Chain A
Amino acid sequence: MRRALARSWRAGWRQVEDRGLHTSAAAAQQAAPQPDTIEVFVNDEPIQIPKGWSVLQACDAAGIDIPRFCYHQRLSVAGNCRMCLVEVEKSPKPVASCAMPAGPGMKIKTDTPLVKKAREGVMEFLLINHPLDCPICDQGGECDLQDQAMVFGSDRSRFSEMKRAVEDKNLGPLVKTVMTRCIHCTRCVRFSTEVAGVQDMGVTGRGRDSEIGTYVEKLLSSELSGNVIDLCPVGALTSKPAAFTSRPWELKTTESIDVSDALGAAIRVDARGPEVMRIVARLNEAVNEEWISDKARFQYDGLKRQRLNVPMVKGPNGLQPVTWGEALSAIAAASKGLRGTQLKAIAGKLADAESMLALKDLFNRLGSGNVWHEGGFPDLPADLRASYVANTTVAGVEGADVVLLVGTNPRVEAPVYNARVRKAFLDGCRVGLVGQAVDLTYPYEHLGSDAAALAALKRGGPFLDALKAAKRPVLVVGPGVLNRPDRAALLKALHEFAESAGVVREGWNGFNVLHDCASRVAALDIGFAPSAASRAPGAGAARFVYLLGADDWEDAAVPDGAFVVYQGHHGDRGAARADVVLPGAAYTEKAGTYVNLEGRAQRTRAAVPVVGDAREDWRIVRAVSEAVGAPLPYDDADALRARLGELAPHLVTTGAIQPPLWLDGQYPRTLEADAAAAPAAGPLRTTIDNFYMTDAISRASPTMAKCVQARQTMRY
């Protein structure tokens, strides 16, 4: 009791110090318990916790590890594994701490003989029907059951009856099931129902005969399905593409960033030697929590297919391998004497900020501002940062009370972002959609599909009223708007709508733009956009085109007679068209800066070496600059990043967001010249037709091909 008092006094004094209050009256006031917290005792240590926390959360806060299988902090409480039993004073039996709310003054004991015996009993029951196949189980080494059995398991079995066996379920090409290993924690069921929003998984049967499955054989139809692999505490759900390929202790882990969509999810790249063996999610509360999309998780086998490993130059027999020197002199010869719009650069979906900056600097030195970013809207005006990023931030959309999606399908453009919107919906947020009607995994009000619906919405109606009355309204503008030829008119209308509906107000910016690829925000940030002269209709056709990993250009963007240089890591459409191929590095092989859709600069790390004779991308551009006689002034990565910081300071403060300025009502004026024509007809639809194949890496991935096939052949 004396210790407890001393501790609470110290805590009170700390608070006083923090607030700069030193009078004794203030100290007395501060020492009084906060009304929204309660005090509980974990193993006789007092701790203040918020009201409504469970006993397990109280123990976690006190730094006491409670063993668990079914409890997960991001899912609802199931309380069915019984592993988290603790003793609570005045309770006749041990209680499941995950499901028991902590009460004021509760005395929790976690290290008594009763608790130990209870957990040992639970473990014995769990192991009754669990097979002894750890040596051939892919979860071996990172298995919760294995770890906890080392603490609470017995060294011998008292079970002499038959173990049960369960038929394996076919969940598609990504998730491998060995259902005999399942301990029925139902994390996967709760994840797919609550977070992914697909009612696919469930429990059938009861007691000893209960099974986890999809009721009838069908594909796990979520874009987040791979997360059940991370969630499964045992080896019942494992990665099918990574089955029997590696053990966790053989792998070198590298913390990196995903580039398969614009979200920039935090990932961990696990490599063995020069091979990426798997990619798993990493925690980043501000971006992806702990989920990643299936494309981010499973496209890594594309990194081993169709790779460019030597420079090539086109000769009479097509592209032939050459040395770097020969390739560079071929570029120098082809670009000699060309100036202005005769030169053209197109950056691809996976280009990092460093190489785009180097390429832009090179073209500017050659007297050309003809630099484009591929996709349907390369010339989006990028003068005002708030007009092309998600100002509410990814985490901020969770708190929204009304969300209006325009021309977007976040389920395929950024599935984890969609899970955030779904979370907001579950908290009572009202969601409306203008655009093609799609399944977003949550119900929404479909307000129309074309620009006319937007105009009608602006005139009035219940949704506009809700938006105006909302405390935290959010407007999400997707690539379905940005890739249209009448983009300027639509954007102008949307900006005016945002102002009039109060989406942007004092202390709250609800205007969000959702992009469909990883490199676009960085490209707009560093001004990788064509100059006015190159955009003018009179600009001549380019005779020299430099493709920086660009594979999805419009046919007209690369003229027929042009000399094409392709720099990239995969042989795809760009390399097939090229006269010179320069092998670059994929995102797992270089340290590159990517800016996600909310404007957060993040850096990938090199997990594996580059393949063959390939080089890091910005170094290639630097070498090209030397060859064409316009050397760039930076020789190492630090100097390049210093230049990056000169141009856009937020690009070098990785991991943070610099909130952009919102120019009240001024931005639409810049669009006035282009927005003269009224918006055209036709639905606002997403740019992504096929979620599993969006860029060179995912197109080269056999696993992604299997996913596409499964969507066609399996029931979902």
Chain B
Amino acid sequence: MAKQWLNKVLELGEVKGGLAWGRFLFDGNRWVTLMEQAPKGKLVGTDYHGNRYFENEGDIYTRKRFVIYAEKRTNAYNPTSVPPEWHAWLNYINDYEPTTFDYKPPVYALKAEVTATGTPKGAWADPDKRNWLKYSAWAPPSSGARGGKA
């Protein structure tokens, strides 16, 4: 039983190889989704980013629907990769499954792109933002030493 469960987890999470296991263990959200919810879920559909959407009828309301992101890198998945039609279904805004429901986007709608979070100057992901040095040091010419922030 436990072995079947684990095989299902590995299959859904596409976890292959030792390194992938390590990542899997250290990513809390993925761990919970895959270990607790995924094996019981029924695959509803896949969006154009490759995210897979599941529904588990046996769970309580608001926990039935979940997503396994296409992004496999640890802590790198981005909720903005969920397109609006799937977003509405996933968050119980409506019950129209985008696979069967003919969703008509408004004329001004653009294709949902993943927000490139972390690119602005003030973002925490910017290495300069986390650097306490407020000056750039001089690099001697032809020494091969790196310039920029020390």
Chain A residues with a Cβ under 8 A of chain B: 273-275, 303-310, 312, 317-320, 570-571, 575-576, 581, 611-612
Contacts and interface: CB of A to CB of B under 8 A. Distances in A.
Nearest to A571: B138
A250 B145 CA distance: 36
Nearest to A273: B134
B137 A309 contact: yes
Nearest to A317: B143
25 contacts: A273-B134, A274-B134, A303-B135, A304-B135, A304-B136, A307-B135, A307-B137, A308-B137, A308-B138, A309-B135, A317-B143, A317-B144, A318-B140, A318-B141, A318-B143, A318-B144, A318-B145, A319-B140, A319-B145, A320-B145, A575-B138, A576-B140, A576-B141, A581-B140, A611-B135
Nearest to B150: A309
Interface residues of B, number: 13
Contact of A571 (B140, B142, B150): B140
Contacts of A310: 137
A306 B136 contact: yes
Given A308-B137, A317-B144, A576-B141, 5 more contacts: A274-B135, A306-B136, A318-B145, A571-B140, A612-B150
Contacts of A318: 140-145
Nearest to B138: A571
Contacts of B135: 274, 303-305, 307, 309, 611
A307 B143 contact: no
Nearest to A272: B134
Contacts of A312: 140
Interface in B114-150: 134-145, 150
A306 B138 contact: yes
Given A309-B150, A612-B150, A319 B136 contact: no
Nearest to A321: B145
A612 B137 contact: yes
Contacts of A307: 135-138
9 closest A-B pairs by CB:
A571-B138, A318-B143, A319-B140, A304-B135, A306-B138, A275-B134, A307-B135, A309-B137, A611-B135
Nearest to A307: B135
Contacts, number: 50
A318 to B, nearest CB: 3
B140 to A, nearest CB: 4
Nearest to A570: B138
Interface in B31-90: none
A303 B138 CA distance: 12
A317 B136 CA distance: 21
A306 B136 CA distance: 6
Contacts of B140: 312, 318-319, 571, 575-576, 581
A157 B138 CA distance: 55
A310 B143 CA distance: 15
A692 B141 CA distance: 24
Contacts of A304: 134-136
A246 to B, nearest CB: 12
A320 B136 contact: no
A90 to B, nearest CB: 61
A350 to B, nearest CB: 16
Nearest to A274: B134
A33 B130 CA distance: 69
Nearest to A310: B137
Contacts of B145: 318-320
A319 B143 contact: yes
A576 B137 CA distance: 14
Contacts of A571: 138-140
A312 B142 CA distance: 14
A307 B150 CA distance: 11
Contacts of B137: 306-310, 611-612
B134 to A, nearest CB: 5
Contacts of B144: 317-318
Contacts of A309: 135, 137, 150
Contacts of A319: 140, 143, 145
Contacts of A611: 135, 137
Nearest to B142: A318
A570 B134 CA distance: 15
A274 B136 CA distance: 13
B95 to A, nearest CB: 42
A303 B139 CA distance: 15
A575 B140 CA distance: 8
Interface in B1-24: none
A17 B136 CA distance: 63
A273 B132 CA distance: 10
Contacts of A576: 140-141
A274 B137 CA distance: 15
A318 B134 CA distance: 26
Contact of A320 (B141, B142, B143, B150): B143
Most interface-central of B135, B136, B141 (chain A CB within 10 A):
B135
Interface in B87-112: none
Most interface-central of B134, B141, B142, B145 (chain A CB within 10 A):
B134
B147 to A, nearest CB: 9
A318 B143 CA distance: 5
B128 to A, nearest CB: 12
A213 B79 CA distance: 48
A639 B137 CA distance: 33
A303 B143 CA distance: 23
Most interface-central of B138, B142, B144 (chain A CB within 10 A):
B138
Contacts of B138: 306-308, 570-571, 575
A304 B134 CA distance: 7
Most interface-central of B142, B143, B144 (chain A CB within 10 A):
B143
Nearest to B139: A571
